[in-house]
Structure 1
Amino acid sequence: MDNYASYPVELTGHDKPMVRFMHVTKSYGPLTVLDELNLDIAEGEMVSIIGPSGSGKTTVLRMLMTLETINGGVIYIDGKPLTHMPKRGVLVPADAGYLRRMRRNIGMCFQHFNLFPHMSALHNCMEGPVHVLGLSKAEARERAEELLEMVGMIEKKDEHPSRLSGGQQQRVAIARALAMRPKIMLFDEVTSALDPEVIGEVTNVIRKLVSECKLTMLMVTHQMGFARDISDRVCFFFGGRIEEQGPPEEFFDNPKRERTQKFLSAVKEAD
């Protein structure tokens, strides 16, 4: 059982990371999915997470979205605890209201888009800013149109998801997440449900985000070439821990750990 009196109530200083996992553990009964994970991600950094199935990589994103509770440790966002909140100078488990407020800092794009089927692309992007952030409909429309323009979907703004291809739906999903003005964007295998010919549509949008926005981004992906091309750092997860990490050129060209070498070799053979 963690002694939460030993964790800082807030991270301070100019060098505080945008995301910090501090001794984070997640288990389902006897199965440990994340084992004392320590991971810092700097403001504006793009980190790709790779690894075999069951290694804990998607769990990292789900915990940042507070879709999963943690069994030990603390997650911090921009210096403030995400999973816990201060009470009388000590951290206690966060209540629903605190989690809601903290979750506004984080946007996520899933494999399967999760767009509202009864709404147009435009209204999908307006819904959150109006009902969660309290923007007027005029302000939300202006923001939504600006973002749909950025992802190349402004001409489809009045179409419903059923009238859009998978790549188009995913680009609308990215615009919808960005409409909430998050500090952090999470991408969970966003190209894995797409046909090969439209994967480029989505990867180009993410490239644009990386080059033009100062967002902190985490991406779980099985596309090694894309991870190499777009990341500041690549983390290889194995058995609920970070087995190896580093800049993409070093990581892919000269992996140090035997497990990393085996994984990358298996991926090359599969391709």
Structure 2
Amino acid sequence: MEDMSQYPLELNGDDVPMVRFMNVSKRYGDLTVLDALNLDIQQSEMVTVIGPSGSGKTTVLRMLMTLEKINEGVIYVDGKPLTHMEKNGVLVPASDSYIRSVKGDIGMCFQHFNLFPHMTALQNCIEAPIHVLKMNKKEAIERAEDMLEMVGLADKKDQHPIRLSGGQQQRVAIARALCMRPKVMLLDEVTSALDPEVIGEVTNVIKKLVAEHNLTMLMVTHQMGFARDISDRVCFFFDGKIEEQGTPTALFDNPQRERTQQFLSAVKSAD
């Protein structure tokens, strides 16, 4: 049984990270997917996670979205525990109702869009603000129209997903996530299901988010050029741990660890 007294009930101080993974482990039976991970992501920082399949990178996002329960450690968002809650002066695993109350700070865009096919782009964007945030419909529509305009799809608001290209659907998915006003945005291989000619549509929107909005972002991608262009920091994951991390220039141009060098060499050869 893990000693939870080692973990603070809240993070305090002048430099509290927006996201903190503190000794976080995740196992499936005998398989350790994340191994005592420690990772801080600062306010407005854009961090990209790269690594081979099975290295734990997507699991990091799933933990933050509370789609999976962790086995050890604590995840904090904006100084407050996400995976745990206070009880009698110590942290205990969070209840479902507690998780629902705090996970609204996190938005996620998936590889396969996950739009509701029977709803228009606008209806997709107002669904959660109305039903989760209890926003009135007029305000939700105004916010959705603003977000669709930001991603360049104001003229497509009344179209159903089947009438939109893959790039347009992914941009609607980004707008939908932004309508919830998240503090942290998670991006899971958001360009990998797209045709090459429309990838630029989505990457340009994400670059705009990074440049113009005060969002903290965590992205998993296999596109090294995109990671280099957009990131403040790149983390290379291997065997459930951060093998190496640094600025894009440092990590891509001068990797220090042999496993990082091997991975980047293999990716370059594949391109």
- Aligned length, in residue pairs: 271
- TM-score, normalised by the number of residues in structure 2: 0.99
Q: 1:14 deviation in Å? A: 1.4
Tell me the SS of whatever aligns to 2:203. Answer: helix
1:209 aligns with: 209
Match of 1:218 in 2: 218
The structural deviation recorded for 1:124 is 0.4
Give the equivalent residue in structure 1 for 2:37: 37
- Within 5 A, what are the aligned runs for 1:54-73? 54-73=54-73
Q: Distance in 2 between matches of 1:7 and 1:148?
A: 41
The corresponding residue for 1:82 is: 82
Q: Distance in 1 between matches of 2:37 and 2:233?
A: 17
Distance 1:49 1:125 in 2: 27
Q: Secondary structure at the match of 1:69?
A: coil
Q: Partners of 1:18 and 1:118 in 2: how far apart? A: 36
Q: Name the SS for the 2:26 alignment partner.
A: strand
Q: Which residue of 1 aligns with 2:147?
A: 147
1:186 maps to amino acid: L
Structure 2 Cα separation of the partners of residues 117 and 66 of structure 1: 25
3-state DSSP of counterpart to 1:203: helix
Q: Residues of 1 paired with 2:201 and 2:186: CA distance? A: 18
C-alpha separation between the residues in 2 aligned to 1:135 and 1:110? 24
CA drift at 1:227: 0.3
Residues of 2 paired with 1:85 and 1:161: CA distance?
A: 39
Matched residue, 1:127: 127
Q: Distance in 2 between matches of 1:2 and 1:53?
A: 29
Deviation at 1:229, TM superposition (A): 0.4
> Distance between the aligned counterparts of 2:118 and 2:2, measured in 1?
45
Instruction: Report 1:85-124 matches (<5 A).
Output: 85-124=85-124
Counterpart code for 1:233: R
Structure 1 counterpart SS, 2:187: strand
**Distance in 2, Cα, partners of 1:225 & 1:151:** 22
Matches within 5 A, 1:234-249: 234-249=234-249
User: Counterpart in 2 of 1:6?
Assistant: 6
Query: SS in structure 1 opposite 2:16?
Result: coil
RMSD: 0.5
Separation in 2 of the partners of 1:125 and 1:199?
22
Match of 2:183 in 1: 183
Write the distance in 1 (CA, Å) between the matches of 2:101 and 2:268: 42
Distance 2:116 2:89 in 1: 41
Q: Report the Cα distance in structure 2 between the residues aligned to 1:155 and 1:218, rounded to whole angstroms.
A: 29
What residue number does 1:250 align with?
A: 250
Superposed displacement of residue 2, structure 1: 1.2
1:186 Cα deviation after fit: 0.2
Measure, in 1, the Cα distance between the counterparts of 2:155 and 2:229: 29
Distance of 1:150 and 1:183 partners within structure 2: 18
Unpaired stretches in structure 2, ≥5 consecutive residues? none
Please give the alpha-carbon distance, in whole angstroms, between the structure 2 residues aligned to 1:25 and 1:251: 25
CA deviations on 1:207-254 (whole Å, 9 max, x unpaired) are 000000010000000000000000000000000000000011111110
Distance of 2:200 and 2:97 partners within structure 1: 39
CA distance in 1 between counterparts of 2:246 and 2:40 reads: 13
Distance 1:162 1:231 in 2: 32
Partners of 1:114 and 1:206 in 2: CA distance: 18
Q: Give SS of 1:104's match.
A: helix
Once the two structures are superposed, what CA deviation does each residue of 1:125-178 show, in whole Å capped at 9, x if it has no partner?
001111111111000000000000000011000000111110000000000000
